[in-house]
């Protein structure tokens, strides 16, 4: 990922979290929150693992696995009123001959990267999270929640159609608890813009 004209690697994200320089808050060790401009926040999750267990087995058996991602900002840890929210999606496949992974972010814009190891694929997908627009005063407390779910192909068919993504159905998907499929949820907070 290019950040400020430089290539940012997963190790740099980890080093950033450990040294906690100005502009970063390490609220939860698995989520790094950074202010990007006056009205956006960027989330990094260099330690989250999601290509494991049944998902990894499916990939190595030749299946393509899709993931739905939501990052939301709320006024409390349990609040359901969102101060900001972004949705994303990416698709992972496995090349049986090369024994490497390919990750695609359908976009827009479409982005993809191939010949990745498991950690590199996870890092690439989570580095691609778009910034979250937030309308916050500097002293207001807020929480950030990252939710990542393996998509059910039947459920996803109702969300992605010819004109594009149906946001109402995507919101509905994240409004209910995940089914038996693999999911990851991480929360950071309380945070304040003035501390980032």
Closest C-alpha to 2, from 87, 128, 106, 146: 128
Residues 67 and 47: their CA atoms lie apart, in Å, by 17
The lowest-confidence range among 20-34, 100-114, 149-163 is: 20-34
Q: Would the pLDDT of 101 be above 90?
A: yes
Torsion of CA 52, 178, 121, 105, to 10 degrees: 160
Does 10 have pLDDT greater than 80? Answer: no
The overall pTM is greater than 0.75: no
- C-alpha 10: how far from chain center: 14
Complete DSSP assignment for 157-169: HHHEETTEE-HHH
Asked whether the CA dihedral 105, 106, 107, 111 is positive or negative, the reply is: positive
pLDDT in tens, 163-186: 555 556 555 655 555 555 578 889
- State residue 196's pLDDT score: 83
Angle of CA points 174, 67, 27, to nearest 5°: 70
């Amino acid at each position: 990922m290019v950040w400020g004209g430089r290539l940012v690697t997963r190790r740099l994200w980890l080093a950033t979290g450990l040294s906690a320089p100005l502009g970063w808050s390490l609220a939860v060790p698995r989520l790094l929150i950074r202010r990007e401009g006056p009205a956006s926040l960027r989330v990094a999750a260099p330690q989250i693992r999601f290509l494991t267990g049944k998902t990894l087995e499916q990939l190595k058996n030749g299946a393509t696995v899709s993931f739905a991602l939501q990052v939301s900002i709320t006024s409390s840890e349990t609040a359901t009123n969102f101060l900001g929210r972004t949705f994303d999606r990416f698709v992972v496949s496995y090349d049986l001959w090369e024994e490497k992974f390919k990750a695609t972010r359908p976009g827009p814009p479409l982005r993809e990267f191939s010949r990745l190891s498991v950690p590199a694929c996870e890092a690439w997908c989570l580095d691609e999270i778009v910034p979250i627009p937030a309308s916050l005063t500097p002293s207001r407390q807020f929480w950030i929640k990252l939710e990542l779910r393996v998509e059910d192909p039947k459920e996803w068919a109702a969300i992605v159609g010819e004109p594009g993504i149906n946001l109402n159905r995507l919101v509905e998907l994240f409004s209910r608890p995940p089914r038996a499929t693999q999911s990851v949820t991480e929360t950071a907070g309380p945070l304040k813009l003035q501390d980032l």
